[in-house]
Amino acid sequence: MSHIPHRKEKDCLNCGTIVQGKYCHNCGQENVEPKETFWHMVTHFFYDITHFDSNFFTTVKDLLFKPGFLSKEYMKGRRVSYLHPVRVYVFTSAIFFLLFFSFFVSSESISPRVNKPVSAEQRADYVKELELRLAKDSSNPWLKERIAFAKDSTHALMASDILKFELNNGLRINFTGTNYNSFEEYDSMEKTLPPSKRDGWVVRRLVRMDINIRRKVSENPDEVTKEFVDSVLHRLPYLLLISLPFFALILKLVYLRRKQFYYADHGVFTIHLYVFTFIWLLLFLTLRAIEEKYHWSFIGTLSTILVFVLLFYLFRAMKNFYQQGWAKTFFKFLIVAISSLFMILILLLLFMFFSAATL
């Protein structure tokens, strides 16, 4: 309901019907004064999104402290007292990513560290890797020269130096296993092959993407790494949105024999779980930021406890919503947790691949 004063006249301004009460029974419009202040517009917008006067606090309270309860209430048809699952997801995710990119992810936090000196341990690991390659290719003069350079502790060995040497001198990082240095070299090699032996469209695209990435990293590894990390981070909202129906599908398969639960019911349960996860992540990231700034040891303990809180919440929500025994719920909880972890990892790899492709 709006907080704008109601009109004394009873004719609906939208359709002309005589209004009985606060709302028109014909079109549903509230019979309020058409003139409103800017403050009324802002508050009306906020109330409309959150039902701040009652539903918002009720929804948040039950979501946080009654795992699975809101989903069960929605399934039973008791919906007026709570925010709609989709609305609360949109609102919570918007707030989360606004705070996430404003306070927890800055230009410094996504800035790569390839322009900084490596540690003694990293230098030793790099030397060991080069020596292993030299054992397989003892006639390679570059490897001998590079090992001598890496062992010389009188100068700083930069992470960007390692990356450039790897890309330009044989420690290749690529998607296709090829070592082409330019598009021209690749095209020339393709022309020497009969048409039946040449790469198809997909492979050609992958090889060209591989050449482009390695060329850019070779020229400016710091900037390219920053762009890549920034691209992945800004795709996180899409990753979570896409993962939502897959998580619901996992629940559908795990509870396949529970015919009373439709896929939409699993979807509502997943939405409420994701909303709790957004709130949990804000608290977790806040604790990590405090720990990083003040180095209080007990904050690390609280962060560890929070991880178990999230796992317990999922378990308890499954128990309350699906109404199965403790042992059976725990077994299905393990399946859901492991399956969802693999699902997120696969989606993350795909998003990282697309991020690399757009560099």
Q: What is the pLDDT of residue 51?
A: 54
Nearest Cα residue to 283 out of 89, 105, 96, 63: 96
pLDDT digits (tens, 9 = 90+) for 65-81: 999 999 999 999 988 88
Residue 248 corresponds to which amino acid? A
Q: What is the pLDDT of residue 171?
A: 43
Distance of alpha carbon 158 from alpha carbon 149, whole angstroms: 12
More confident residue, 154 or 131: 131
Residue 7 makes CB contacts below 8 A (sequence gap 6+) with: 13, 31, 32, 33
Local confidence band at 318 (pLDDT 50, 70, 90 cut-offs): very high
Q: What is the pLDDT of residue 178?
A: 60
pLDDT digits (tens, 9 = 90+) for 280-301: 999 999 998 898 888 888 888 8
Q: In the predicted model, what is the mean pLDDT of residues 116-122?
A: 78
Q: Is the pTM of this model over 0.75?
A: no
Taking CA 74 as the corner, what is the angle to CA 71 and CA 79, rounded to the nearest 5 degrees? 135
Q: What is the pLDDT of residue 41?
A: 67
Distance of alpha carbon 155 from alpha carbon 162, whole angstroms: 14
Nearest Cα residue to 266 out of 253, 279, 281: 253
What average pLDDT does the structure give for the chain?
82
The answer to whether the CB of 43 falls within 8 A of the CB of 28 is: no
Record the tokens describing residue 336, joined without a space: 């859901």
User: Among 18-22, 37-41, 308-312, whose mean pLDDT is lowest?
Assistant: 37-41
Positive or negative: CA dihedral 76, 77, 79, 80: negative
3-state secondary structure of 206: helix
Residue 280 makes CB contacts below 8 A (sequence gap 6+) with: 306, 309, 310, 313
pLDDT digits (tens, 9 = 90+) for 133-162: 788 777 767 677 778 878 877 777 777 666
User: Among 17-26, 42-51, 271-280, whose mean pLDDT is lowest?
Assistant: 42-51
List 18's β-bridge partners, or say none: 11
Residue 26 corresponds to which amino acid? N
pLDDT digits (tens, 9 = 90+) for 325-343: 999 999 999 999 999 999 9
pLDDT digits (tens, 9 = 90+) for 158-212: 776 666 665 555 444 445 556 676 788 888 888 888 888 888 887 888 888 877 7
Residue 358 makes CB contacts below 8 A (sequence gap 6+) with: 231
Q: What is the pLDDT of residue 314?
A: 96
Neighbours of 314 (CB within 10 A): 19
Q: What is the pLDDT of residue 323?
A: 94
Residue 94 corresponds to which amino acid? A
Q: What is the pLDDT of residue 217?
A: 67
Q: What is the pLDDT of residue 172?
A: 44
Backbone φ and ψ for 347, nearest 5 degrees, come out as: -65, -40
Positive or negative: CA dihedral 219, 222, 223, 225: positive
Distance of alpha carbon 136 from alpha carbon 152, whole angstroms: 23
User: Among 2-16, 30-44, 224-238, whose mean pLDDT is lowest?
Assistant: 30-44
Local confidence band at 46 (pLDDT 50, 70, 90 cut-offs): low
Q: How far, in whole angstroms, is CA 128 from its chain's centroid?
A: 35
- Between helix 263-294 and helix 297-322 the angle, nearest 10°, is 170
**Is the model's pLDDT at 279 over the cut of 90?**
yes
Local confidence band at 1 (pLDDT 50, 70, 90 cut-offs): low
The answer to whether the CB of 150 falls within 8 A of the CB of 142 is: no
More confident residue, 21 or 244: 244
Distance of alpha carbon 332 from alpha carbon 326, whole angstroms: 10
Q: What is the pLDDT of residue 331?
A: 97
Backbone φ and ψ for 269, nearest 5 degrees, come out as: -60, -40
Neighbours of 82 (CB within 10 A): 23
Q: What is the pLDDT of residue 254?
A: 96
Q: In the predicted model, what is the mean pLDDT of residues 241-245?
A: 94
Backbone φ and ψ for 178, nearest 5 degrees, come out as: -95, 160
Q: In the predicted model, what is the mean pLDDT of residues 241-253?
A: 96
Record the tokens describing residue 262, joined without a space: 């439709």
Distance of alpha carbon 208 from alpha carbon 215, whole angstroms: 10
